[in-house]
Structure 1
């Protein structure tokens, strides 16, 4: 602990890295050797000069309340390796980063950032009191886009009918090109959600044994989404909002802000080659609510928003409609990040399956649902690893297979090592293919979040 509220761990710092290369490069700079003039303030700022290949050192400053980063290096990554190295040095807490006043170059950036933040809040407050724009023009634009999506959905229905009429075997023979062409037309129809589902359909025939079954399942879900869109005006309000979100219409943040002490449970990135999507899961300590923050980055650039896993934020979230009302936007923060004292409360494997089933009733296209499992043990089986209720080890419980692209071998072994054969608390995503663990806590160190991705 220090004057910034909570001193991050090395794992929390490295979880902010935009890629593995930055993580490795930042780790090399996490020692006192290349740094000079390093310091920190009680307002959430950390700064320092890092010796590089040029005659002048790189000026690096981090606002940990964002977090936000600035560095004079030419890197386009956020955070760059110098910001990661500086935060790693600060996380050691061995006096290499002392306290004091920020130098002029760091203070100028910090002041500029404060002004931008205050200006953004003022604009939001001003905009909240007026509708803005021409409502009639906005209505016409929405109608034109809806008509294009409808045309795209009708074309996709014809594509699915042709596939089933010709037999699923034709999907393997025709290759990926036809699906990509169909996906491109969905993009032209301004339905990126449908385009994403089409690309998934195109990838299934090459996904290994059992692909016809998986293809038929995904075709059925895509057909269901098409038909739901074509009759969206007759659906109940919450389901209609979910359908609009699934085809690619952004659901705006609406309703009252929810202030809570939000535990940052997990953060991980996925990419489709054109866009990097960062998913951040938060859990409200008082409300018990789970929320999903999304941040996006164009090809080659990491998403800007990044939160250290395992800290607690006193903040307001603005919820979105549809898709289980999980997605939210990060609003005002009221205090520096605080340390975690205990993991979120969890349930059994049966509770997780029930929660996923209830969520599917509201959103049939849901791949997974966030849950926390309490007192579970990772166990090996002939078909891979499972998470089992602790009582099931001696008989009487249930188990879930571990799966998912977010779980790599290092994460699996980290979970097994943390457990040591004993029960742990695990947060992750429960879906029809199993459970993807994202973070875990042991009974011996309930305040330490262990990332598993």
Structure 2
């Protein structure tokens, strides 16, 4: 299905690319326009001596251009897709450079050929696995001792420690090949300094919660043999053990119409980390697809808020399942309504059930339907409420826009809940859906559907 102009512009990496892409969306500027199925192509004159060759597949979405831009998609790819959205180019036989791009995409998505493959050295694999397990076990011992010392001295004293105190422990965990634990340790000084979670009585309470989750994760990591396979896999993932491509390929896919509700982007260990948040319209299953890019590099294309991924996702091992990877499917226009919205009480119950299965989980995606926004008595911040209860909303520069969209009427919200407050990522009201922009601190929302 051809994307709308708004959906194509939402793929642009920044505002400058959106404006430049619109400038390239004039059919008279293009030569050799053609289409084969969902793949479109054309050539456009740029600053080089020869025209730039651009090919795109909006259903992927995917694109490639011979221009030197490091942005992805570049302005020419955006312009080409806008031209196609305004009026589909004629069907034609793909030229050689387009056919090569199509074959390359097919080869990357096809399962690897086994004929002639070099046999794996099972003994070497076992040695590497045992060596890492031994390193992680040592890191767990050191972290357990460090946590005991921290609690023995008291959390009030820990709050006065410099960042180097926390970063030193995190560095030793990275050396022990437990990067997931290191990330959690590096997050502790932020809790110690602010304790900003709604409902937290004091910074010490927020710090105690973070330390407690770490301690529970250490206990679970020492009892992997006593856990169910999916629970054990979830613990290993939280520690930082990777999931191999072969293991993920063997996982069953879950088919649904996956509504893309929001993107979040953060910097972690000098990498840009983007999370695409989905909820299945039929199953109500939440999912996150995570992509990484080095500093200065561009993140791969992904469906934008206001689109659905009609197909299947493969979930990483873990209980409860959340992180996933794309399988087969196409991008289609999305309905305005949020999927699987429940009551505030159901959101509390969902989070409680998640904690019962994995008490070290920090946040969980939830949808609530038909809530009204307002201020709790004696409180400064906003809250969302219905007949079953209230959810405090985490402080965010986009909340005034969320409140304006509601206009005093019931709305549906999607966000990340941590047991204290909801970080709003999407809102649906009066037949329209909006998403919080991933990297724009201004008090605005993006129209999604």
Per-residue CA deviation, residues 206-235 of structure 1 (Å, 9 max, x unaligned), is 336733222222112112212221222222
Please point out which of 100, 117, 128 is paired with 1:112.
Answer: 100
Alpha-carbon distance in 2 for matches of 1:15, 1:199:
33
What is the CA distance between 1:367 and its match in structure 2?
1.6
Q: How does 1:112-131 map to 2 (within 5 A)?
A: 112-124=100-112, 126=113
The equivalent of 1:359 in structure 2 is 354
The equivalent of 1:444 in structure 2 is 431
**3-state secondary structure, aligned to 2:417:** strand
Alpha-carbon distance in 2 for matches of 1:65, 1:54:
29
Matched, 1:141 2:136: no
**3-state secondary structure, aligned to 2:361:** coil
What is the CA distance between 1:100 and its match in structure 2?
2.4
What is the CA distance between 1:119 and its match in structure 2?
2.0
The equivalent of 1:388 in structure 2 is 385
Q: Which runs of 5+ in 2 are unaligned?
A: 197-201, 438-449
**Cα pair 1:47 1:102 within 8 Å, conserved:** no
Q: How does 1:54-453 map to 2 (within 5 A)?
A: 58-84=52-78, 86-87=80-81, 89-90=82-83, 95=86, 98-101=88-91, 107-124=95-112, 126=113, 133-207=120-194, 210-251=202-243, 252-253=247-248, 254-333=250-329, 335=330, 337-340=332-335, 342-381=337-376, 382-389=379-386, 396-403=387-394, 408-409=396-397, 411-445=398-432, 449-453=433-437
Alpha-carbon distance in 1 for matches of 2:228, 2:331:
41
**3-state secondary structure, aligned to 1:219:** helix
Per-residue CA deviation, residues 92-139 of structure 1 (Å, 9 max, x unaligned), is x5x4x65225797xx545422321232234434x469x9962333322
**3-state secondary structure, aligned to 1:337:** strand
Relative to structure 1, is the Cα distance of residues 387 and 40 closer, same or farther in structure 2, using a 3 angstrom cutoff? farther
What is the CA distance between 1:286 and its match in structure 2?
3.3
Alpha-carbon distance in 2 for matches of 1:332, 1:338:
17
Alpha-carbon distance in 2 for matches of 1:421, 1:90:
40
What is the CA distance between 1:402 and its match in structure 2?
1.4
Relative to structure 1, is the Cα distance of residues 185 and 34 closer, same or farther in structure 2, using a 3 angstrom cutoff? farther
What is the CA distance between 1:50 and its match in structure 2?
6.0
Per-residue CA deviation, residues 344-383 of structure 1 (Å, 9 max, x unaligned), is 1311111111111101111111122222211122224542
Q: Which moved more, 1:44-53 or 1:346-355?
A: 44-53
**Cα pair 1:426 1:439 within 8 Å, conserved:** yes
Q: TM-score with structure 2 length normalisation?
A: 0.83
Relative to structure 1, is the Cα distance of residues 15 and 195 closer, same or farther in structure 2, using a 3 angstrom cutoff? farther
Relative to structure 1, is the Cα distance of residues 174 and 375 closer, same or farther in structure 2, using a 3 angstrom cutoff? closer
What is the CA distance between 1:193 and its match in structure 2?
0.4
Q: TM-score with structure 1 length normalisation?
A: 0.82
Q: Which runs of 5+ in 1 are unaligned?
A: 390-395
